[in-house]
Amino acid sequence: MGKIFKFHNDLDTDQIIASQYLLLPTIEEMKVHTFESLDPEFPQKAVPGDFVVGGENFGCGSSREQAPAVLKALGIQAVVAKSFARIFYRNAINIGLPVIVCKDLPDAVESGDEMELSLTDGVAKAGGKEFVCTKLPEYMQQILSQGGLIASLNKEVQ
Amino acid sequence: MGQTIIEKIIARNIGAASVKPGDIVTVNVDRVMLDDIMMPFIVNKFQEMGFKEVWDPDKVVLIYDHLVPASQQDDTRHYRIGDEFAARHGLTHVHRSDGICHQLMTEAGYVKPGDVVFGTDSHTTTYGCVGAFSTGIGYTEMAAILGTGQLWVKVPETIRVVIDGTLPEGVMSKDIILRLIGDLGADGATYRALEFGGQTVEQMSIASRMTMANMAIEAGAKCAAFIPDEKTAQYCGIQLSGFQAGLRGDADASYVKTLTYRAEDFLPVMACPSQVDKIRNVSELAGTVIDQVFIGSCTNGRLEDLQAAAAVLKGKQVAPFVKLIVTPASRKVYLEALECGALQTLMDAGAIITHPGCGLCCGRTGGILCDGERVVATNNRNFLGRMGTSKVEIYLASPVTAAACAVAGKIVDGVQV
């Protein structure tokens, strides 16, 4: 169970983490600036297990992998959106942040709502309703369950 | 079954007779571009993965452009990490102050038609201008390529865009790509390739094609593709091989859709704050007062862009309350613009000329704006906070339109000045 932070369509990676913070040496130092232009309190309000919900084309714009990385560092359980921009989607899977496509959920929920998500079943529950999401392919579920591409490659090598 | 340009490139790369959209294949990478902002993270991941050597140092290009010259203390840390990595792994293609990465990758001959190229910047789609398959990736995947020389990709569907006829005076390829992004929407080409064809495109310079390929990502596209022709061969300093000369969509290739335009129908347009797909005709916005104009970036900082701006500004003065900032895309462009007199004309009109680099476009240095200010800019993104605070209004336009606005001090149609 986690609470929802909802954002608009075409949310670009500059809003998730602005370019002036990309020079900070670590993701830990960067994460306190997450969503600064839209909701400066976000890093304080979000607790591990919470969800980010977006509309269409979530994570468009720059290829900065720091965008999914700060969300993961804040403990965001998953990003659920109607659709994702290509580079954000790949980056998120590679670092072990679940990204779930769900066409109906974003319009049916509001910020602050409680939500539950089962990655394996591809089902989200919020506001007493169930939403069927696009299930991740097994290959990607495996990367995610092992904590990202590096962890998963290391495991393969072993 | 026929093939699109991108399908032909991928098929040849993996040694297959053909590929189809949706196939997941592992490609052998011909070239990679690493930029200064991402360098510490790439190196970190490379070490975390346990790699000892770079798979092929000759295929790696390291470019410092977002942070050149340094504007904050942390910037130089990025050069140091880059330099150390280059020295340890014998990288020889290192550009420390020569210009913007995407300009250098094509201008310095690192990308050829038919190549498969990845870069740690979303505008890596630019190299489609010479008929390469190129796209942006994150730092973790870049580290994996540096160790293995390979990456998995899903073969994209292709959207075909055909433009015939002659563009009206004062209309540039920037106006075409902005209109197209407006028509497709900011996610209209997500996961897909944009393949361009038609007389108008054939008549275009490589620089104009580069502007369009550069902004393909703003419609979500994975990559862009132009047919390599004689101009491409000359630009790349090569003779096209049989394979390269055959890089055109087959008549029976399968396209997810085809968009057809008449060049004569294009007008000067702008992307309005703060969405790249919020496209309006310049005439609808006329009279909006502005504070700054920026002509530069990997989208529109080439010689023909500076010359087009100079032609508008010749014998005129920038409005007294407007700052006009001009950034040539590379040292080579800078020198050429100096030699042909374009820089003189721009300076005489009151322009500030800056060093080549990404500074203002990525909101780091060289003309950052603050709350309530409005800028007309030739770069590729007008996102909230991109060129300063989140209360800056950014209008994206062509160099001709931008130059005209600088003179008028307000938004105005370039042809009318």
**ipTM for the assembly:** 0.92
Interface test with A, best of B49, B122, B146, B150 (most A CBs within 10 A): B122
DSSP, collapsed to helix, strand or coil, labels residue B167 as coil
pLDDT digits (tens, 9 = 90+) for B147-180: 999 999 999 999 999 999 999 999 999 999 999 9
Q: Does the structure show a pLDDT above 70 at A80?
A: yes
Identify the CA nearest to B224 among candidates B2, B5, B386: B5
- Fold held by B269-416: Aconitase; domain 3 (3.30.499)
- Fold held by B9-263: Aconitase; domain 3 (3.30.499)
Task: Label the pairing between strands B193-197 and B223-226.
Answer: parallel
The shortest CB-CB distance from B186 to any of A60, A64, A94 is to A60
pLDDT tier, A156 (very low <50, low <70, confident <90, very high otherwise): low
Q: Which stretches of A83-155 are assigned E, i.e. beta strand? A: 99-101, 114-118, 123-126, 129-132
pLDDT digits (tens, 9 = 90+) for A23-39: 999 999 999 999 999 99
Question: Residues B223, B190: contact at Cβ < 8 Å?
Answer: no
Domain ranges of chain A: 2-157
Chain A residues with CB-CB distance to B40 below 8 A: 25
Q: Which stretches of B29-179 are assigned E, i.e. beta strand? A: 31-35, 60-63, 93-95, 116-119, 133-136, 150-154, 158-164
Please give the average per-residue pLDDT across B60-67, as a whole number: 98
* b/e sequence B379-410, b meaning 16+ C-beta within 10 Å: bbbbbbbbbbebebbbbbbbbbbbbbbbbbbb
Residue B20, phi then psi, degrees to nearest 5: -130, 155
Q: Judging by beta carbons within 10 Å of its beta carbon (0-12, 13-18, 19+), is residue B202 exposed, middle or buried?
A: middle
Please give the average per-residue pLDDT across B40-44, as a whole number: 97
pLDDT tier, A134 (very low <50, low <70, confident <90, very high otherwise): confident
Q: Does the structure show a pLDDT above 70 at A157?
A: no
CA–CA separation, B289 and B405 (whole Å): 9
pLDDT tier, B138 (very low <50, low <70, confident <90, very high otherwise): very high
- Fold held by A2-157: Aconitase; domain 4 (3.20.19)
Q: Does the structure show a pLDDT above 70 at B63?
A: yes
Å between B185 CA and nearest CA of chain A: 10
Q: Does the structure show a pLDDT above 90 at A152?
A: no
CA–CA separation, B280 and B273 (whole Å): 11
Q: What is the pTM of this model?
A: 0.96
Q: Does the structure show a pLDDT above 80 at B416?
A: no
Q: Where in chain B is the domain with CATH 3.30.499.10?
A: 9-263, 269-416
Chain A residues with CB-CB distance to B139 below 8 A: 65
pLDDT digits (tens, 9 = 90+) for B315-370: 999 999 999 999 999 999 999 999 999 999 999 999 999 999 999 999 999 999 99
Return all residues near B15 (Cβ < 8 A) that are at least 6 apart: none
Is B138–A85 a contact, with Cβ atoms under 8 angstroms apart?
A: no
CA–CA separation, A50 and A126 (whole Å): 13
Question: Residues B310, B278: contact at Cβ < 8 Å?
Answer: no
Query: How far is the CA of B180 from the CAs of A26, B124, B372, in angstroms?
Result: 38, 19, 29
User: Which residue in this structure is represented by tokens 């290739």?
Assistant: B253
Identify the H or E element spanning B215. helix B206-215
Interface test with B, best of A8, A87, A150 (most B CBs within 10 A): A87
Question: Residues B392, B298: contact at Cβ < 8 Å?
Answer: no
User: Which pLDDT does position A145 carry in this prediction?
Assistant: 85
The residue in chain B having the minimum alpha-carbon distance to the alpha carbon of residue A60 is B220
Task: Point out which residues pair with B24 in neighbouring strands.
Answer: B154
User: Which pLDDT does position A139 carry in this prediction?
Assistant: 78
CA–CA separation, B87 and B254 (whole Å): 46
Interface of B with A (CB under 8 A): 37-38, 40-41, 45, 48-50, 67, 72, 74-75, 77-78, 120-122, 124, 135-141, 144, 186-187, 190-191, 220, 222, 275, 277, 362-364, 381, 383-386, 390
| % of chain B with per-residue pLDDT over 70 | 99
Chain B residues with CB-CB distance to A19 below 8 A: 37, 362-364, 386
Q: Does the structure show a pLDDT above 60 at B396?
A: yes
* b/e sequence B259-298, b meaning 16+ C-beta within 10 Å: eebebeebebbbbbbbbbbbbeebeebeebebbbbbbbbb
DSSP, collapsed to helix, strand or coil, labels residue B345 as helix
Chain A residues with CB-CB distance to B77 below 8 A: 25
Q: Which stretches of B91-187 are assigned E, i.e. beta strand? A: 93-95, 116-119, 133-136, 150-154, 158-164
